[in-house]
Amino acid sequence: MLFNSFHYIAFFLTVLLAIDTIRKGSLQHVLLLVASYYFYWASSSFHLLLLVYSSYLDFYCGRAIYRADSAGRRRLYLCLSLVGNLGVLAYFKYTNFAISTAVLGLEALGWRPNVGTLEIFLPIGISFFTFQSMSYSLDIYFGRFKPVDSLKEFALYVAFFPQLVAGPIVRAREFLPQLVTPVRLNWENLKFGSTLILYGLVKKVCIADNLSGLVQGTFYGEPTHDTLIVFLGIVAFAVQIYCDFSGYTDIAIGSARVLGFRFPDNFAHPYFSRNITEFWRRWHISLSSWLRDYLYIPLGGSRRGKRRQVISLMITMLLGGLWHGAAWHFVIWGGFHGVLLVVHKYLLAERRFLTHRLWTPMKILFTFYLTLIAWLIFIIADMSQLAFYIQKILFLDFQTAGLAALWAARPFELILLGCFFAAHLVSYKVNHLSETFAGFRPVVWTAGASASLVLLYLLAPGQQSFIYFQF
């Protein structure tokens, strides 16, 4: 079920009406759990059983970890949770990748096995709800959280529909305490949540979906030798994936807020980062903090010397790349970011230069340029084409013969790019723009919301799925 569909609108309004009718908190939790299971069933059919499986597994593993009378038993139950979750994720997401990689390795050795890939349907959102469920067992193991007594409440935490399919990845200690009080709909939550929903829909429908044609035309057709077109194409993809993913999380956070639940932010203007370390503090915050807390720090982090930190950082980023997709270009993308982080931490961060604020715009532009190179790796799976496009971006030979044709064919997309950066600059300069808008008087807010609906009607190019659904 897509957020940008009338199906979701009807579903969400039905949930709101039912919640407002039911006053008892325990019955509200049952209703939200049933609604969440329906939401996932409408998206992924019988794979709903995997969601139920993860809930049962980590609920009882978490309880067993907490009650264990020895460190060995605690590790045993934690391993059961990790193997149970990661095993399912590995089967559905990485089996065919492993088969293809093994076949390529054997062919390199001169043996050509007649082995094909399996027909495995990737359940939507499995990477997200697996990590979210697994963090509960990990938090109990590390002593950060005590297990809850209610399987129903824990199942709701894992399956809660706003963030189920593509995040943000919410921790148990952030969500479960909010179930103590019954859901009460109020005007402030409704106005702020609706503002975020509209904000996210505009980013997704009006910007991301309209830029998909420019991206597809640049990177999925005949390779262009026009450097400026390649550059505009990858800038368009950077904007597309940001608006698509942050648009989803805005709708998710807004939907939860209407119901009275508060989720952490997942994006903080990442394209205004002054270095690559700051970028990862601003981009997909819930995943980067998850990898930091449950992978980077347990591997040693910065506590065991520089060499160990470099190893921990590279392993974390390589696995973070693999989390995004079962393909080598995702692993390379993660490794590239890992190298950039290492370079920043050890070659730049310890040297104090270019510290004056006048250098800030140059730092932002250079960091954005590095992320563009990374997005090329992210979007292009073919290694020969990837090398061609990276050469174009690195050496900038300024061939612009096709620019006039591009303008003639896609003037709206190019204007849209300029409008995005202008609006993005305003939202960066005005702190908490969505909160500011939500705080306007009802008449002003209604006018702004109506304008957003008109934009959605006029600029919608047709319903498109969210990019991160494939992860």
Is 401's pLDDT higher than 70? no
The distance from CA 357 to its chain's CA centroid, rounded to whole angstroms, is: 31
| pLDDT band with cut points at 50, 70 and 90 for residue 160 | very high
Whether a cis peptide bond, with omega within 30° of 0, leads into 147 is: no
Distances (CA, A) of 93 to 42, 89, 97, 424, 461: 20, 6, 8, 35, 31
Structure-token pair, residue 356: 């004056």
More confident residue, 403 or 16: 16
Separation CA 203–CA 453 (nearest Å): 12
Residues 267 and 282 sit within 8 Å (Cβ to Cβ): yes
29 is catalytic: no
Q: Catalytic residue among 29, 324, 329, 337, which?
A: 324
Separation CA 89–CA 95 (nearest Å): 9
| pLDDT band with cut points at 50, 70 and 90 for residue 399 | low
pLDDT digits (tens, 9 = 90+) for 226-268: 788 888 889 999 999 999 999 999 999 999 999 999 998 899 9
Task: Look at residues 158, 196, 197, 165 and name the one whose alpha carbon lies nearest to residue 179.
Answer: 158
Is 433's pLDDT higher than 80? no
Task: Give the H/E segment covering residue 38.
Answer: helix 25-44
| pLDDT band with cut points at 50, 70 and 90 for residue 21 | confident
Separation CA 181–CA 26 (nearest Å): 10
List the single range of 70-74, 159-163, 166-170, 462-466 with lowest mean pLDDT. 462-466
List the single range of 112-121, 152-161, 196-205 with lowest mean pLDDT. 112-121
Separation CA 397–CA 422 (nearest Å): 27
How many C-alpha atoms does 353 have within 13 Å on its Cβ side?
4
More confident residue, 285 or 471: 285
| Residue 236: predicted pLDDT | 93
Neighbours of 26 (CB within 10 A): 13
Query: pTM, whole model, 2 decimals?
Result: 0.90
Residues 279 and 270 sit within 8 Å (Cβ to Cβ): yes
Task: Give the H/E segment covering residue 430.
Answer: none
Residue corresponding to tokens 């005949």 = 222
pLDDT digits (tens, 9 = 90+) for 386-395: 888 888 888 7
More confident residue, 263 or 407: 263
List the single range of 11-25, 80-94, 120-134, 349-363 with lowest mean pLDDT. 349-363
Residues 203 and 243 sit within 8 Å (Cβ to Cβ): yes
Neighbours of 129 (CB within 10 A): 26
Please report how the helices 126-141 and 151-159 are oriented relative to each other, as an axis angle in degrees rounded to 10: 140
pLDDT digits (tens, 9 = 90+) for 258-293: 999 999 889 999 999 999 999 999 999 999 999 999
| Residue 301: predicted pLDDT | 77
**For all residues of the chain together, what is the average pLDDT?**
86
Is 6's pLDDT higher than 90? no
| Residue 346: predicted pLDDT | 77
| Residue 450: predicted pLDDT | 86
Task: Look at residues 167, 371, 349, 394 and name the one whose alpha carbon lies nearest to residue 272.
Answer: 371
Is 435's pLDDT higher than 80? no
Is 448's pLDDT higher than 70? yes
Separation CA 327–CA 318 (nearest Å): 12
| pLDDT band with cut points at 50, 70 and 90 for residue 351 | low
pLDDT digits (tens, 9 = 90+) for 327-341: 899 999 999 999 999
Report how many helices (DSSP H) and strands (DSSP E) the chain contains, helices first.
Answer: 21, 0
Distances (CA, A) of 451 to 1, 160, 191: 25, 30, 15
Separation CA 141–CA 66 (nearest Å): 7
| Residue 291: predicted pLDDT | 93
Distances (CA, A) of 10 to 14, 17, 273: 6, 11, 38
